[in-house]
Structure 1
Amino acid sequence: MLAQRIPNSGRSLSRSQEHRLAIEETEMIPFQKVLDGIMLDMAGIGLSCSRESLSAASQLVDYLSNKLPESSGNIFDLGVDPLGELLSNSLEISDFESYLAGGAELAGEVSNNFTKATTFRINGLNTPTRC
C-alpha cells in the first residue's frame, strides 16, 4: 500500500494536535517507509480514504500480517466506509454487496489477529463505529 506524507512545515502544533500526523502530499510512499520507526503498539494510526477505503485497509492489514506475531498488538483504525463510498462514488449495488462482503471478511481477519484494531467507519457519515 502507498500512503501520502506531509513535509515538515515548521508549524507549531496545538496541544490537541500534537499527537496526530496528517499525511496530505500526493507523493506515494510505501507503508514500510511511512511507518518506519513508529511504535504502532503505542501510537496508533487511522486510515481515512474517500475512495478505495477497503483496498487501502486490506493492503495495510496485509502489510501488518506479514509482521505477525509482533504486530498483533498494533493500534489502528482501518476507516472502511462502504456506505460513504456508495453515496459519494455512485457504486453499483453489486459492487456495494461485494464491498460489504469484503469488509466483513477483513473484519474477521482483523478480529482474529489484531487485538487493538476494532474500529471501522461503516455508516457513511465518516464517524467511527465499533465492529
Structure 2
Amino acid sequence: MGARPTIDDVARLAGVHKATVSRALNQRTERLVGRDTVLRVREAAESLGYVPNVMARGLRTDSSMTIGVVIPDLTNPLFPPIVRGIESHLQSRGYTALLANTDENESGERVAIASLLDRRVDGLIIGSGHRG
C-alpha cells in the first residue's frame, strides 16, 4: 500500500499553490478561488484519492469541527430524532457529532463530558436530567 496523497501532490497536479488547494477544497473559502480553479483542484484531488487530513487542519485552525453530544439514554425513543436533527444541522455546516450515551448515570455523564473535552470538541450539547 502506497503513501497517501498529500495536499502538495494535489497542488502539483492542479498546477496551483497548496494554499489554493486548501481554499478550493473548503466550502467556507472556495468562493475566494476562481470556479475553474476549484473544479481543477477537485478533479486532481479526486483522481489522486486525496482526503484532507482533518487532524492536521485542526492543529492549524485550533478547531476539531466536532461537537460532543451527551445524552442520558439512546434507547429512549425521545432521543434518536433529536440526535438526527443535531447531526443534520451540524453536517450542513461541516461539523461532525460525537455521541456519548451515559445510561442516566451522573458520574458517567461527568466522565463523558471530560472525555469529549479532552478530545477538543468545539462545543457540547448536553441532554441531562441531572443538576449542576
Same fold at TM > 0.5: no
Q: TM-score range by the shorter chain?
A: under 0.3
Q: TM-score, normalised by structure 2?
A: 0.24
Question: TM-score scaled to structure 1, two decimals?
Answer: 0.24
Point out the structure with the larger helix share: 2
